[in-house]
Structure 1
Amino acid sequence: MSVPTIYDADRKGTVLRIERSSVHDGPGLRTVLFLKGCPLRCQWCSTPESQKFEIETGDSYSYGSVMTVQDVMRELRKDSLFFFISTGGITISGGEILAQPEFTRAVLRNCRAECMHTAIETSFFAPWETIKSILPYVNLAFVDMKFFSNDLHKQYTGVDNELIKQNLLATNELEEKFQLVIRTPIIPGLNDSEEELCKIGEFCTKLKKLSYVQLLPYHKLGTATYEKLGRAYALPGIKSPTPDQMAGYVKIIERYVENVIF
């Protein structure tokens, strides 16, 4: 059986890592390609090693490597049987995938050409033309809505979110058929007020392609990496929300959106 021709095979990207057999990043078993580099600095970020674009090395760690599109496709093909059996596929995450748009687009285009289900995880913080050029190769888009408030978003992520909201609304005009999921990480004391969640829920009613909203409970799984990198963790005193609290947040969003999970 011949190997398909790879589009833009020699294009290089900076990859953080490839993780296999994920069940949290889309349907079925997923292989997740994590890219390096992000324009946001979310104070609760669980993968601080993904923030910088350059490869980072130290005495006990090495984060990132340069790979070509051909290198990536060679790795993804190893899991194609598992994708078929589990109705899974590949997910590109970050960092921020839109910060390496040509590389992201090339990988997605090749995956779709080889009948792999494709998903992306993104903040949507990028020029609309960049997003528009990538979505034709996407089956499922997980897009973060961390806050509705512009001021809070800038305070805790470093950037304004007006562009993100405009980009989400712009998906209403696209002919491409893809599944849109809004993900909101619940950070107690930052974005879990009823007022903020109601505004997020109300905004979601304007999204024609919305499939469901997913609330993600805050956790501290990345704090050891901050220590390894010699960086201070900005939110040491915040506790993870309880299941009962999460159920309460779901009920708030359900006032506006029928399908809400956590």
Structure 2
Amino acid sequence: MSAHSISPLEMFACLWRNRELVQATVKREVLGRYRGSFLGLFWSFFNPLFMLAVYTFVFSEIFNARWNSGSVSKTEFALLLFAGLIIFNMFSECIIRAPSVILSNPNYVKKVVFPLEILPFVNLLSAFYHALISFCVWMAAYCIFFSTPHITVLYLPLIVFPFGLFIMGASWCLASLGVYLRDVTQFIGIITTVLMFLSPIFYPASALPEEYRALLYANPLTPVIEAVRDALYWGKAPELSTLAFYWIAAMIIAWLGFAWFQMTRKGFADVI
């Protein structure tokens, strides 16, 4: 197999071959973020709780936002909001960092033997770590204020895994583009902000007028956020047809992003 194969199998094989390097790099990434701080890893619990409190106060108290015409309490609103934020934060953490992931590691580019393709994956696992903590916080809050979580929680891996593939495809593409087009970093910051408000995070999809819902469902985050919220809070299993389509689309996007990265990586050293 060539050094820069674009085979779909290579997309997974490269991660398996370098699993020990990935593990060490992710550990350094997670611990390095909090190195030197007094609270250390506690910040990974505090940050989502703080943002949850802020968003809940702003939207439920200041903007007087309600879910389904006020049929849920403020506690329920907070959990519904938090479920959407977990998915969006996982997405935004990877996408915002993707354009600069190669530029911020010029020493790795000069090393021919270093597998640059794992760098976006390291970002994904770091984001997944924080998302997992947020999920644990959500589950604990649900148990405290309500009861035992729904059995549909077991569907979460089937929903989140293809979402990770989608993020990887987008990250590989943006990582490559970021080397050649430095404006991508600024552009992505704007796009993620737009996607946040065009996602059903702070409101249900049914709150939008019928003529605007097509725009909402054109957002790739929408089906994931709704599926996660349904599984976590409403106790609804995802539609198998929608889930199958998302798996197929995510696999295609992941492979296209990987292929683009592999085909363009030869010029990284020259540009950097």
Interval containing the TM-score (normalised by the shorter chain): under 0.3
Structure with a larger share of its residues in strand: 1
Work out which of the two has the higher radius of gyration on C-alpha atoms and give 1 or 2: 2
Higher RCO, Cα 8 Å, sep 6+: 2
TM-score (structure 2 length as normaliser): 0.25
